[in-house]
A and B are shown apart, each in its own frame.
Chain A
C-alpha cells in the first residue's frame, strides 16, 4: 500500500467515526430528500393555481397563456437541490476538510506521521483523496435520491439528454462543494489554532455566498436561499457594470447558480452571467486555486504546531 493510500484509508476510517461529520452529512442527505418533496409540492401547487386561473381566463374570454411550469425542463422540479448544495453541501465539505487535518492534530497523530518515512506529497495526496472520496460519496447519494424522485414522479418524462444534464449538474455540484472543502483543508493545515481552519473557510464561503452577489448585482443575502430569486439581472448602471466586470469572476456562488439553473432548465433567458469571463472557466480556475492552496498548505504543514493542548 502506498503512503498516500495509507493516509487516505486512515483519514476515511477516522471520518466515519466522527459523529459531528456524520451529522452534517446526514443533514445534507435529509435536505436533498426534502428538496425533492418541496419541488414536487411547489410544482403541484402552481399546476393547481394554473388550472383555476385558466378556468377564470376562459370564462372571461381572455387568452390562456401556457403553464409557466410546463415550459421548463422536468429537471426544474429538483431546483432546490442547487440551494442545498450551495448551503449545506459546501458546509459539510468545509467540516470534512477541516476535520481531516484538525482531527489528526488534536489526536496528536501529526507528529507521528511526520516521524514516519512518508513524503509530504504523499500526505497531501492522501488527504485530498480522502476529501474527494467523501464529497463523491455525498454527491452519489444526492444524485441517487434525485434520480429516484424523477423516476417516480407522475408526469415527469425525462429524456436521455436531460439525464445527461442532471449528471453534469451533480459533477458541477461536486466541484463546487469540493472547492470549499479544499480551502478548509488548506486553511486547517496553515492555522494551528483550534477551529481556525473551519472559521477561515466559513468566512470565505459567507463572503462568496452572501456579500459578493450584493456587490456585483444588488442581490440581497436572502435571495441565496431561493433558486429563482438569486437569478436576478444586475441593475443596468455603469457602477454595477464595472463591479460585475472586476468582481464577477470571483463571485463563484453566482456562477454556480447560473450554470445549475441552465443545466436544470429554469434559468431565465434574459439573464447574463456576471462579468465577461465564462462562469465555468471561473469555477474551474477557483477549483484549481483551491487545490493548489490545499497542496501547498499540506506540503508546508508543521506537524508539531498546535497539538492536543493548543
Chain B
C-alpha cells in the first residue's frame, strides 16, 4: 500500500479500485450495460437476418421468372453497423450508470465521513478529488472494455465474416471516446452529489442534467429536422429527386444552422457522430479509411476532450466545504 502523504492520488485511486472490485453495483451495472448492448446487437442481427431471408426469397422468385437478380438491391453486411444499438445504449444507459457511479462515490465518502477524515491529513484537496476522478475514468474504461469485448465477440460469431484488425482498431478508438464520455458523466454525478447539501438531491439534479443534455437537446435537434416529421421522410413522401432536395434544403440554411447548433450543444451528439462515422454506421462514412474520418470528425473528439477537461478543472478548483460533507437530510 503506497504512503498516503507521499502518493495521495495513487493511494486513494487504488483504494477506490479495490472498493469497486468488491462493490456489487459495479458488477451489476457492467452486466446490465453489457446485456443492453447485447440485446441491441442480437436484435440488429436478427433484423438483418430477416432482410437477408426476404432478399433470398425475392431473388429466387426473380430467377424463377427468368429475370436478373440485380433488379433488387442485396442487403449490405457491414458487421460494425450492428453496433448502432450498442453505441446508443452507451449514450443513454451508460450515461445513467456513470451518473449513479459518481453519486455513489461521493455519497459513500460523505456517509462514512471518510472524506472529512482524509481532509484532516496533509494532503492537498485537489489531489483527493483528482484521485476520485481518476477512479471514475478507470471504472468507465473497465466497464466499457467488457461491453466492447463481449459485443465484438458476438459480432465475430454472428456476422460469419469475422472482424479484421482494422475493425478492432476502430472499436478501440470508439472505446477511448466512450470512456471519455462516461468519465464526463461520472464527474457530473460525483460533483453534484459532493457539492449539494444532500447527495440524493445531487443525484436528482444529475438526472435532470442527463435529461437535458443526453435526451432533450438531441431530441429538439432531431424533431426540428423536417425529414423526421413524416414517416419515411418528407422528401420521400413527395417523391422529390436528390438534386431538387438539395436546392430546397439550401433555402433553409439558417434554420439548419440553428437546428444543428442545438444538437451539437450536447456532448452525446459528439460521441454519436464520431462513433457512427468511425464504425461506418452512417452510410456516408461506410468503408472509408480511418484517416479520412479522423480528419473530418476530429472536432467531435476535441469537443469531448475539452468538455471533460473543463468539467474536471471546475471540480478540482472548487473548494470543498468540510461543514457540508456529512450526510444530511
- Which A residues form the contact surface with B (CB < 8 A)? 19-20, 23-24, 27, 31, 34, 38, 41-43, 45-46, 48-50, 52-53, 56-57, 62, 65, 68-69, 80, 83, 87-88, 91, 95, 102, 106-108, 194-195, 198-199, 202-203, 206, 210-211, 214-215, 218, 220-222, 225-229, 231, 235-237, 239-240, 268, 308-309
Q: What's the least CB distance linking B182 to chain A, in Å?
A: 15
- Asked if A49 and B46 sit within 8 Å, CB to CB, the answer is no
B329 in contact (CB, < 8 A): yes
Annotate B29-43 by CB proximity to A: 1 below 8 A, 0 otherwise: 000100010011001
Which chain B residues (72-104) contact chain A, with CB distance < 8 Å? 84-85, 88-89, 91-93, 96, 100, 103
State in angstroms the CA–CA spacing of A56 and B204 once bound together: 51
Are A46 and B230 also in contact (CB < 8 A) when A24-B204, A211-B36, A214-B43 are?
yes
The answer to the question of B215 belonging to the interface, with a C-beta cut-off of 8 Å to chain A, is yes
Give the shortest distance, in Å, between A138 (CB) and chain B (any CB): 15
Contact A220/B230 with A50-B238, A80-B223, A198-B204 known, Cβ cut-off 8 Å = no
* Complex contact A27–B224 (CB within 8 A): no
On chain B, the residues within 8 Å of A95 by CB distance are 204
Instruction: Return the chain A residue nearest B196 by Cβ.
Output: A20
Interface segment, one of B60-68, B123-131, B205-213: B205-213
Knowing A38-B223, A43-B229, A215-B39, say if A56 contacts B92 (CB, 8 Å). no
Asked if B255 and A308 make an inter-chain contact with CB atoms under 8 angstroms apart, the answer reads no
- A41 & B224 in contact (Cβ 8 Å cutoff): yes
Contact A91 B211 (CB under 8 A): yes
What residues make up the interface of B, taking CB atoms closer than 8 Å to A? 32, 36, 39-40, 43-44, 46-47, 49-51, 53-54, 84-85, 88-89, 91-93, 96, 100, 103, 107, 111, 198-201, 203-205, 207-208, 211-212, 215-216, 218-220, 222-224, 226, 228-231, 234-235, 237-240, 244, 248, 251-252, 255, 272, 327, 329
Q: A23-B208, A69-B229, A194-B107 are in contact. Are A225 and B219 (CB under 8 A)?
A: yes
A194–B248 touching, CB < 8 Å: no
In the assembled complex, the Cα of A226 lies from the Cα of B233 at a distance in Å of 13
In the complex, which residue of chain B has the Cβ closest to the Cβ of A106? Answer: B329
- Contacts A198-B200, A237-B50 given; indicate if A49 touches B228 (C-beta within 8 A): no
Give chain A residues whose Cβ lies under 8 Å from the Cβ of B229: 42-43, 45-46, 69, 228
Which residues does chain A contribute within 8 Å of B239, judged by CB atoms?
Answer: 62, 65
Contact in complex: B85, A220 (CB < 8 Å): yes
Q: How far is the CB of B102 from chain A (nearest CB, A)?
A: 13
Given known pairs A53-B240, A68-B237, A220-B84, the reply for A42 and B224 (CB within 8 Å) is yes
B53 with A237: CB separation less than 8 A? yes
Q: Mind listing 25 A-B residue pairs with CB under 8 Å?
A: A19-B201, A27-B212, A46-B226, A46-B229, A46-B230, A49-B252, A53-B238, A65-B237, A87-B216, A88-B216, A194-B107, A195-B107, A199-B100, A211-B36, A214-B36, A214-B43, A214-B85, A218-B44, A222-B88, A226-B222, A228-B228, A228-B230, A235-B51, A237-B49, A268-B231
6 further contact pairs, Cβ within 8 A, besides A53-B244, A218-B46: A42-B224, A69-B230, A221-B91, A222-B91, A225-B219, A309-B327
CA distance A125 to B244 in the complex (A): 62
Q: How far is the CB of A50 from chain B (nearest CB, A)?
A: 7
Contact of B40 with A226 in the complex, beta carbons under 8 Å? no
Q: Inside 8 A of A65's CB, which chain B residues have their CB? A: 237-239
A237 touches B47 (CB 8 A): yes
In the bound complex, residues from chain B placing their C-beta under 8 Å from that of A203 are 32
Residue in B44, B89, B272 whose beta carbon sits within 8 Å of that of A210 in the complex: B89
Nearest CB of B to A87, in Å: 6
CB distance A52 to B40 under 8 Å? no
Given contacts A195-B103, A225-B219, A237-B50, A214 and B211 within 8 Å (CB-CB): no
Among A19, A34, A80, A240, point to the contact of B50 (Cβ < 8 A): A240
Q: How long is the Cα–Cα vector from A15 to B92 in the complex, in angstroms?
A: 29
Contact of A231 among B231, B252, B329 (CB under 8 A): B231
| Residues of the A chain whose Cβ atoms lie less than 8 Å from the Cβ of B235 | 49, 53
Task: Give the residue name and chain of the B residue nearest to A225 (CB).
Answer: B219
Q: How far is the CA of A235 from the CA of B42 in the complex (A)?
A: 13
Residues of B contacting A80 in the complex (Cβ-Cβ under 8 angstroms): 219, 223
Q: Are A91 and B207 in contact (CB under 8 A)?
A: yes
Residues of B within 8 A of A107 (CB): 329
Please state if B226 and A42 are interface contacts (CB–CB under 8 Å): yes
A235-B75 Cα distance, complex, nearest whole Å: 14
**Closest CB of chain A to B107's CB: distance in Å?**
7
Residues of A contacting B248 in the complex (Cβ-Cβ under 8 angstroms): 49, 52-53, 56
- Residues of B contacting A229 in the complex (Cβ-Cβ under 8 angstroms): 222, 228
Query: What separation, in Å, do the CA atoms of A34 and B208 have in the docked complex?
Result: 16
A84 to B182 Cα, complex, angstroms = 24
B319 to chain A, nearest CB (A): 23
Are B47 and A235 closer than 8 Å at their CB atoms? yes
Q: Measured between alpha carbons, how far is A24 from B215 in the docked complex, in Å?
A: 15
Q: How far apart are A97's CB and chain B's nearest CB, in angstroms?
A: 12
Residue of B nearest to A268 (CB): B231
Closest 4 CB pairs between A and B?
A106-B329, A237-B50, A225-B219, A221-B88
Shortest A13–chain B CB gap in Å is: 17
List A contacts of B218 (CB < 8 A): 222, 225
Q: Report how far A140 CA is from B43 CA in the complex, Å.
A: 39
* Distance from A269 Cβ to chain B, minimum over Cβ atoms (Å): 10
Contact status A87-B228, CB under 8 Å: no
**Complex: A74 Cα to B204 Cα, angstroms:** 36
CB-CB < 8 A to A215: which residues of B? 39, 43
Query: What chain B residues lie within 8 Å of A19 (beta carbons)?
Result: 201
